[in-house]
A = this chain, B = another copy of it.
Amino acid sequence: MGKGRLEAFSDGVIAIIITIMVLELKVPHEPTFAALCERWPVFLGYLASFAFVGVYWSNHHHLVHTVRHVEPRIMWLNLHLLFWMSLMPFVTAWLGESRLAPIPTFSYGVIMLVAGIAYLFLQLAIAAQQTDPRHREAHKRQQWKGYVSLVGYATGLPLAWTGHVFVAMGIYVAIAIAWGVLDRGLAGE
């Protein structure tokens, strides 16, 4: 299988995920600022999820670029990651409409956590393909970010559950920003 088509399909799905979230932003019924501002939890969720998907897109790009041979295993792990990412518009809408209620915020964190695990699985499978020791090294340097993120997501879960939703969302957003800032590509590129 050509790497190009795997990239193109993934990019297509990620581009659609990041864009259709706007369809969940329901228009206020009153043409006033009060009605617009009253929706702040919806906009906050939209912003956080846009940043998340954008960060995933960039990192996914760097990662898939180092694939050496598109084996079925890589393809299914990639589809597995896309499945969890495809649920982001759903949890984002629930988060916003419930105005950051504990259970929806917890569910949001669960999707973040599971998507992070799916990403790590894909990363490990691609790292195992590398024959050049320098490339292996580059992949290993990236993996700690994944492990730290998983710990962060997991920490947010009990906080969200017990109603500390802003602390939990703060942790999630901080992880997204950290990935964005640390995004330097893989040395193998």
A residues touching B (Cβ–Cβ < 8 Å)? 1-2, 5, 7-9, 11-23, 25, 27-28, 31-33, 36, 47, 50, 54, 57-58, 61-62, 65, 72, 75-76, 79, 82-83, 86-87, 89-90, 93-94, 97-98, 101-104, 107, 180, 183-185, 189
Within 8 Å CB of A22, what residues of B? Answer: 17, 20, 86-87, 89-90
- Indicate whether A76 sits within 8 Å of B11 (C-beta atoms), given known contacts A31-B102, A61-B5: no
Within 8 Å CB of A50, what residues of B? Answer: 83, 86
Within 8 Å CB of A31, what residues of B? Answer: 94, 98, 101-104
- Indicate whether A13 sits within 8 Å of B9 (C-beta atoms), given known contacts A31-B101, A79-B54, A94-B27: no
How many copies, total?
4
Cβ contacts A to B, 16 pairs, < 8 Å: A1-B61, A5-B61, A9-B15, A9-B57, A12-B15, A17-B19, A20-B22, A22-B87, A23-B23, A23-B89, A27-B90, A27-B93, A31-B103, A32-B103, A36-B103, A72-B183
